[in-house]
A = this chain, B = another copy of it.
């Protein structure tokens, strides 16, 4: 009921703050018999982790994952899987100046008003550091979905600021630190980010996540439509401000004829719907777009108040991504994997043989 769990059958519960000793998660509902080891998870964590490119936060975390329960002889036992990731590179001094200030567009203000207390060493639970456990849990889901159903979940950066990056190739995505599929845009992005960093500003971004080979029938009627559940899980990622399925926002100006995916004996003639009809997967690619706001921590002074309500100016120093949307790619892939995994199991429960 409180907010630190997601999923109904495949259920992920997390804890840990950006400046505490570690992050941890309990992943419940993993079917028994899945081959799983630390490496399976580490691969995905490495895609998300900071400090390995000069275009992301310089906080250097190895994000070394340790599975400490739920596995016996390399195989899942069907019981709850415990994972943890230690925090290594904590510099609390970075944050001491903002102890009594609310950083605009951060969660400082709302957390303190809600709870009456705030871990001012960093973002606490509202920090993007928390997403490391999501990626770890998503890696388990990804592996299961791949092995059992050949489902493949991949994402790419589709827009950063005013630079649009139409899809070109999946190979390219893993070759650059921006998850950009379009080799022609890389230079432009590098130039843009360098300029941004210099000015102390940040920028928003849009990403696209695609799931292939999703079986027909995932999603529940009415409130737990697959699109609603995906919207929930993707929108729960830090900084997410929009979520679209298929043609998304563009449907507002389409006519029925334009939007219609005709049905042919060998499948659908188009995929405006993004692979979901009536809230249930139709076997086509599931296509999700999400926009992320610019990093809130910037070095350009802004107005704020302190905890006593007095006017102040603030500059947020520290080691921040100039564009949090970039690293949102592996996180959003993980969230989509978690949601699809949950629905694969829910499908088995009600409609399985």
B-contact bits for A243-285, CB 8 A (1 contact / 0 none): 1111111111111111111111100010011100111111100
B contact residues around A236 at 8 Å (CB): 222-225, 227-228, 279
B contact residues around A257 at 8 Å (CB): 201, 298, 300, 302
B-contact bits for A26-41, CB 8 A (1 contact / 0 none): 1011011100000000
Asked whether A62 is an interface residue with its Cβ less than 8 Å from the other chain, the reply is no
User: Across the interface, do B263 and A104 meet the contact criterion of CB distance under 8 Å?
Assistant: yes
Asked whether A106 is an interface residue with its Cβ less than 8 Å from the other chain, the reply is yes
A32 to B350, CA, bound (A): 8
User: Across the interface, do B4 and A28 meet the contact criterion of CB distance under 8 Å?
Assistant: yes
Taking CB atoms and an 8 Å cut-off, the chain A residues in 179-220 that contact chain B are: 196, 201-206, 216-217, 219-220
Q: When A28-B13, A304-B263 are in contact, do A105 and B273 touch as well, CB less than 8 Å? A: yes
A246 to B241, CA, bound (A): 7
User: Across the interface, do B1 and A9 meet the contact criterion of CB distance under 8 Å?
Assistant: yes
Q: Beyond A105-B261, A241-B273: 12 further Cβ-contacts under 8 Å?
A: A2-B220, A4-B26, A4-B221, A5-B28, A16-B69, A79-B125, A109-B277, A109-B282, A125-B222, A130-B222, A254-B293, A256-B297
